[in-house]
Amino acid sequence: MLTDRKPIKIHEAIEAVLEFAKEGEIEYIPIEESDNRILKASIKADHDIPPFDRSPLDGFAVRAEDTVSASSANPIELEVIETVGAGGLSNSIPQKGQAIRIMTGAKMPEGTDAIVMFELTKEIERNGKTFVSISRKFNPGDNISFQGEETRSGDVLVEAGRQVEPGVKALLATFGYSKVPVAKKPTIGVYATGTELLDVHEELKPGKIRNSNSYMISSQISKAGAIPKYFGKLVDDFDRCFEAVKNALEEVDVLITTGGVSVGDFDYLPAIYEKLGANVLFNKVGMRPGSVTTVAEYNGKLLFGLSGNPSACFVGFELFVRPWVQIFLGSKKPHLQMVHGELKSDFPKANPFVRFIRSKMTIESGKVFAEPVGLDKSGVVTSLANSDALVVLPGGTRGFQKGDTVTILLLNGEGGTAIFKEKRS
Amino acid sequence: MLTDRKPIKIHEAIEAVLEFAKEGEIEYIPIEESDNRILKASIKADHDIPPFDRSPLDGFAVRAEDTVSASSANPIELEVIETVGAGGLSNSIPQKGQAIRIMTGAKMPEGTDAIVMFELTKEIERNGKTFVSISRKFNPGDNISFQGEETRSGDVLVEAGRQVEPGVKALLATFGYSKVPVAKKPTIGVYATGTELLDVHEELKPGKIRNSNSYMISSQISKAGAIPKYFGKLVDDFDRCFEAVKNALEEVDVLITTGGVSVGDFDYLPAIYEKLGANVLFNKVGMRPGSVTTVAEYNGKLLFGLSGNPSACFVGFELFVRPWVQIFLGSKKPHLQMVHGELKSDFPKANPFVRFIRSKMTIESGKVFAEPVGLDKSGVVTSLANSDALVVLPGGTRGFQKGDTVTILLLNGEGGTAIFKEKRS
């Protein structure tokens, strides 16, 4: 029974974990399967965009000099000698008095240097020939999209570490990435502890509850970008637990256990770490919930001993496991995005420790607010489902009031670069 | 060639599309595969949480009346007659002077009415028996988690229409949803038009560019919650195009085409809608980009004719297709989340039409800002990848300045209930 634990500060705990962070390998996957994956290499333009001078409009490619004298009073007429669609190339070179009908996106025909849009022209059929009437002057370069004006060959378009979103996918396609270089996902094992736990398909029995943490954590693992591997429940026998943990470690990059790290008679994890000879980085953190969060390292692999309490388990994952995963994937923003906002309701209960309060973030009239959810006991269960942020309340002797500025960690944000750090030392 | 198109207002266009919105069917999928799916039924508690009075601590279950006289000067001793782990049940009923050692989560033993935490006790072995020494008084109910104090059987915990996130998953597991009732995903077909388009694996050729829209749109479809089905490129022949569109419609819930809706010679879509006998809802919208966005309806199915211009295609999807998909899935927030914020840089170019400017949203000191990306031509390509919001600039004769309050549509937000609507009539 471990009762003499020394709590360390939250940021020290995160830093201790990240000493064992490492970047994973690259793999090449079909572009069709690349949504939400993290790029392991920067995306570079291997050609100019546009790749050639082209028409941005449906209209006529002309020699600007032919239009010098055009006016509404004296429109000029040019003979239309060819039509070029997008993707087509002109076969002829217009001479004085000639033009080429051209569609949006088509390459500028040789010999032409301006585009006149359909809307400003009139077409005339005469003697089996087609003429276009133009009633104003155009200058060389008018209405041309020039080669390279959007992007030059060699430009870095998206940095490594970014997630593939629809806009990124468009760039990957534009530059021919039929295979996309992405970070290989780490595999995170999950073992639940607790003889009170029933599986989701089991009927309730007296004294038992269903295991919700493993499902929640597996979801968090997927959301963080890794592959969850659920091993089941650890049985209530130390030797078998020890073997199970040891064997699981062989199959995963990181192993999470939920429960079993507190001071109860069947909280085997501390003894398992000891028997393994694992290096316990910390076994108590100055925070609520999740103070018993324990992290150990064995042969370079991390074992996260998260609390069996659902809130503590959730917070422990987001603070400690998520950044490890994101760094493995090469993300430049491994932490939860941290913003500030106004507390939307009083939070009167003081606590000597830093607290992470599950909350709902809203934006009203351009300002950020956060409302704690599940403040009373009757909200504990639903607060799991209704929060998209964690409000961080510093430890102290007073409560907090509506309107107070608080730190907010966004659960669905774009990630952040900074580690949460308590202000007081 | 369709040149006499009458633009309709953006919100009228959205409303016209949503007249053909309908909710899709329900399907039951394993909880393990339910991440990010949308719940088609509300999640109800089918039992109390906690399901029984239980200990929230590791400690001793006592009869409070036995501790009435306890003080540090005169600690009382109770005989420990049994140990109950979480998930276990007590076999004995403590009589006067007896206690049961109990672990976090275990059911309160019959006959006990308070929990004393380990930290406030001392255990003593004497004559082969174990005693616990307690040095203060406890009242009936102290440190007990009472049945139903978190949730009552029958409470609605999560409403239908919500997405499965880690916290929702925990509830699903708690209440035994091994199969989860979710909305069946609609299938959205995609046909690209444009003879200039090369596939992603093809080498660049003069006059050609790679097809990026189909990949981008497929990503947007997945992100919106539907299944993309890419049919390839429509060939450059009207009759074959017509057959292809007609056949594709049989296989999908909605068909998107990119390109082919403008006024060029090979823009077949308007003629295809006509030959089909489809009901064209609109073929011009008062907005930039995407003014040529066309939507038609045929036998209750929608055909979205999005522009071939990547920005216009992107915006057209988010404004018109996304809400249709989200309503099909049963979401209560089908539109992009709309917030307000400060423009972070000048946007001097005036335009008579409402514009959607790809932008990056940031939060600084509790306030929302938006910075247009890709303002100049050289940013067009990368702006695809670097925006997470659309700033909406009303049409008018003046530009916009840094500090102006603008409407912002969030591409990665939680969705919204309101349709964007121009202020002026």
Q: Which residues of B touch A256 (CB under 8 A)?
A: none
Q: Which residues of B touch A367 (CB under 8 A)?
A: 366-368
Provide the token pair at B107: 């059911």
- Residue A425, pLDDT above cutoff 70: no
- Residue B423, pLDDT above cutoff 80: no
CA distance B189 to chain A (A): 15
Q: Which residues of A touch B105 (CB under 8 A)?
A: 194, 196, 209, 308
pLDDT at residue number A1: 43
Q: Which residues of A touch B150 (CB under 8 A)?
A: 377-381
B346-355 pLDDT per residue, tens: 998 888 999 9
Domain spanning B30-49+151-183: CATH superfamily: Molybdopterin biosynthesis moea protein, domain 2 (3.90.105.10)
**Contact assignment for B308 to A263 by CB distance below 8 Å:** no
Least CB–CB distance from B207: residue in A52, A157, A222: A52
pLDDT at residue number B38: 98
Interface of A with B in 268-297 (CB under 8 A): none
- Residue A4, pLDDT above cutoff 80: no
Q: Which residues of A touch B201 (CB under 8 A)?
A: 176, 178
For chain B, report the end-to-end CA distance as a whole number of angstroms: 30
**Contact assignment for A201 to B88 by CB distance below 8 Å:** no
pLDDT at residue number A326: 98
Residue B418 is given by DSSP the state P
Q: Which residue of A has its CA nearest to B150?
A: A378
Q: Give one DSSP letter per residue of A318-336, joined into a string.
A: IIIIHHHHHHHTT-S--BP
What ipTM is given for this predicted complex? Answer: 0.93
Q: What does the mean pLDDT of chain A come to?
A: 93
CA distance B407 to B382: 22
Q: Within 13 Å, how many C-alpha atoms sit on residue B204's CB side?
A: 16
Whether the CB-CB separation of A393 and A315 falls below 8 Å is answered with: no
**Contact assignment for B178 to A158 by CB distance below 8 Å:** no
- Residue B205, pLDDT above cutoff 50: yes
| Dihedral (CA of B136, B141, B146, B150) sign | negative
Q: Does A340 touch chain B (CB under 8 A)?
A: yes
A41-88 pLDDT per residue, tens: 999 998 999 999 999 989 999 999 999 999 999 999 999 999 998 888
Residue type, A286: G
Least CB–CB distance from B265: residue in A83, A219, A386: A83
Angle between helices A238-251 and A269-276 (to 10 degrees): 60
Nearest to B53 by CA among A360, A207, A23, A280: A207
B149-203 pLDDT per residue, tens: 989 999 999 999 999 999 999 999 999 999 999 999 999 999 999 888 999 999 9
CA distance B337 to chain A (A): 10
**Residues in contact with B102: Cβ distance below 8 Å, sequence separation at least 6, in sequence order:** B55, B58, B59, B60, B61, B83, B84, B108, B109, B115
CA distance B71 to chain A (A): 23
**Contact assignment for B200 to A215 by CB distance below 8 Å:** no
pLDDT at residue number B3: 52
**Contact assignment for A171 to B217 by CB distance below 8 Å:** no
Interface of B with A in 359-398 (CB under 8 A): 363, 365-368, 377-388
For chain A, report the end-to-end CA distance as a whole number of angstroms: 30
CA distance A299 to chain B (A): 30
Number of other CB atoms surrounding residue A424 within 10 Å: 7
Region A290-309: what's the mean pLDDT?
95
Q: Which residue of B has its CA nearest to A49?
A: B381
Q: Which residues of B touch A361 (CB under 8 A)?
A: none
Q: Give one DSSP letter per residue of B196-252, joined into a string.
A: TEEPTTSPP-TT-EE--HHHHHHHHHHHHT-EEEEEEEPPS-HHHHHHHHHHHHHH-
**Contact assignment for A173 to B201 by CB distance below 8 Å:** no
- Residue B385, pLDDT above cutoff 50: yes
pLDDT at residue number A3: 53
- Residue A299, pLDDT above cutoff 90: yes
pLDDT at residue number A349: 84
Q: Does A256 touch chain B (CB under 8 A)?
A: no
Provide the token pair at B136: 């203060």
Q: Which residues of B touch A386 (CB under 8 A)?
A: 158, 167
Q: Which residues of A touch B386 (CB under 8 A)?
A: 158, 167
CA distance A112 to A99: 8
**Contact assignment for A384 to B168 by CB distance below 8 Å:** yes
CA distance B162 to A114: 54
CA distance A397 to B189: 60
**Contact assignment for B158 to A217 by CB distance below 8 Å:** no
- Residue B1, pLDDT above cutoff 50: no
Region A255-273: what's the mean pLDDT?
86
Least CB–CB distance from B385: residue in A171, A387, A388: A171
Options 3.20.20.70, 3.40.50.300, 3.20.20.140, 3.40.980.10; which CATH number does B10-25+185-328 get?
3.40.980.10
Region B136-146: what's the mean pLDDT?
96
The CATH class for the domain spanning B59-134 reads mainly beta
Least CB–CB distance from A88: residue in B87, B207, B405: B207
Whether the CB-CB separation of A113 and A143 falls below 8 Å is answered with: no
- Residues of chain A with pLDDT > 70, as a percent, come to 97
Region B322-326: what's the mean pLDDT?
98
A326-355 pLDDT per residue, tens: 999 999 999 999 999 999 999 988 889 999
β pairing state of A187-192 and A179-183:
unpaired
CA distance B216 to chain A (A): 5
CA distance B30 to chain A (A): 11
pLDDT at residue number A379: 67
pLDDT at residue number B425: 42
A96-145 pLDDT per residue, tens: 999 999 998 899 999 999 999 999 999 999 999 999 999 999 999 999 99
Which of A4, A54, A90, A103 best tests the B interface by mutation, with the highest count of B CBs <10 A? Answer: A103
**Contact assignment for B378 to A340 by CB distance below 8 Å:** no
Phi-psi group of B312: left, alpha or beta (phi > 0 → left; psi -120 to 50 → alpha; rest → beta): alpha
Cα of B207 vs its chain's centroid, Å: 41
CA angle B10, B15, B16 (to 5 degrees): 95
Q: What does the mean pLDDT of chain B come to?
A: 93
pLDDT at residue number A424: 55
Residue B320 is given by DSSP the state I
Instruction: Give φ, ψ of A93 to 5 degrees.
Output: -110, 115
CA angle A311, A314, A319 (to 5 degrees): 120
pLDDT at residue number B93: 96
Which of A384, A387, A408 best tests the B interface by mutation, with the highest count of B CBs <10 A? Answer: A384
Least CB–CB distance from A207: residue in B52, B310, B386: B52
**Residues in contact with A107: Cβ distance below 8 Å, sequence separation at least 6, in sequence order:** A52, A53, A54, A84, A89, A90, B206, B207
pLDDT at residue number A264: 72
B265-288 pLDDT per residue, tens: 778 899 999 999 999 999 999 999
Whether the CB-CB separation of B114 and B62 falls below 8 Å is answered with: yes
What are the boundaries of each domain within chain A? Answer: 10-25+185-328, 28-47+159-183, 59-134, 337-410
Q: Does B161 touch chain A (CB under 8 A)?
A: no
Options 2.40.340.10, 3.90.700.10, 3.40.190.10, 3.40.50.300; which CATH number does B337-410 get?
2.40.340.10
Q: Does A165 touch chain B (CB under 8 A)?
A: yes
pLDDT at residue number B129: 95
- Residue B406, pLDDT above cutoff 50: yes
Q: Does A59 touch chain B (CB under 8 A)?
A: no
Options 2.60.40, 3.30.1150, 3.90.105, 3.50.50; which CATH number does A28-47+159-183 get?
3.90.105
- Residue B397, pLDDT above cutoff 90: no
State the pLDDT confidence band at B379, using cuts at 50, 70 and 90: low
